[in-house]
Amino acid sequence: MSTAECLQSPNTTEPLSPTHSSHSNHYCRRHVNTNNNNSMSTQDSDLTTLAATGNLSVLEERLNSHNNSSSNRHAVLQVDPDQPQSGTGLRPLHFAASRGYLNIVTCLIEKAGATVDATDQEGETALLKAAYAGHMSIVEYLVNKAHANTTHQDKDGWSVLHNACSSGHLPMVQFLVQHQVPVNLTSRIGNTPLSKSSLFLLDSFF
């Protein structure tokens, strides 16, 4: 799997993570690909598969089976809600958040006990991934209900507001600012959320 994938359009909703490039006419995204079921290995947890496919009914069934089983735990599927995917560090919550499955996100946190601010190999949380993909309802839930860390920065120093601004999600930006998300956090190379929104506006004209 390649480590980065550059996409021509900043308006795509493909739920990949941003690679923080200074290119003005491209948005480059790390290929921590939550959009490709074929990338899952047999070592990945069953919850990862269910979260990635948005199968709420089966997910709840598996969780209930696990909770009700005390003597035959080997007969039920793996239920570690924080099991990272091999090679990427992506967890079930990352898949659900980046793909827009609010009901799965809620179930993983409230019923399975998933760690809200768990990170992948790039240091991104579910909140950062949902923001970049433009999933407003998930961002609202993670901030208002799950109390996700809104000041977290990934390995490149990008915050949830950087991600929202870089993809042009204005209502989300307004929501985050209203909830006191810091507006002056700088990335590792000195970019603020405002500078990322400027790049988005420039790209929209070319």
Q: Is 41 exposed, middle or buried (0-12, 13-18, 19+ CB in 10 A)?
A: exposed
The residue to which tokens 């946190």 are assigned: 109
The pLDDT score that the predictor gives to residue 78 is 59
The amino acid sitting at 173 is V
Which region among 36-45, 127-136, 180-189 has the lowest average model confidence (pLDDT)?
36-45
87's tokens: 């090679």
Number of C-alpha atoms within 13 angstroms, CB side, residue 125?
25
Distances (CA, A) of 99 to 70, 134, 204: 33, 10, 24
The pLDDT score that the predictor gives to residue 37 is 53
CA separation for the pair 135, 175 (Å, rounded)? 12
What pairing do the DSSP bridges indicate for beta strands 27-30 and 4-7? antiparallel
CA separation for the pair 103, 108 (Å, rounded)? 9
Beta-bridge mates of residue 29: 5, 18
* Higher-confidence position of 114 and 34: 114
Give percent of the chain above pLDDT 90: 55
The pLDDT score that the predictor gives to residue 21 is 43
Whether the CB-CB separation of 105 and 141 falls below 8 Å is answered with yes
With H, G, I as helix, E, B as strand and everything else as coil, classify residue 122: coil
The residue to which tokens 């949380």 are assigned: 125
The residue to which tokens 């950087």 are assigned: 162
Which region among 46-50, 89-93, 145-149, 156-160 has the lowest average model confidence (pLDDT)?
46-50
Asked if pLDDT for residue 24 goes beyond 60, the answer is no
The number of beta carbons lying within 10 Å of the beta carbon of residue 55 is 15
The pLDDT score that the predictor gives to residue 66 is 72
Residue 195's pLDDT band (boundaries 50, 70, 90)? confident
The pLDDT score that the predictor gives to residue 45 is 59
Mean pLDDT of 53-76: 73
The residue to which tokens 């790390």 are assigned: 30
Query: Domains along the chain?
Result: 4-203 (1.25.40.20)
Average pLDDT, the chain: 77
Whether the CB-CB separation of 176 and 136 falls below 8 Å is answered with no
Q: What is the pLDDT of residues 66-125, one digit of tens each?
A: 777 644 443 445 578 999 998 999 999 999 999 999 999 999 999 999 999 999 999 999
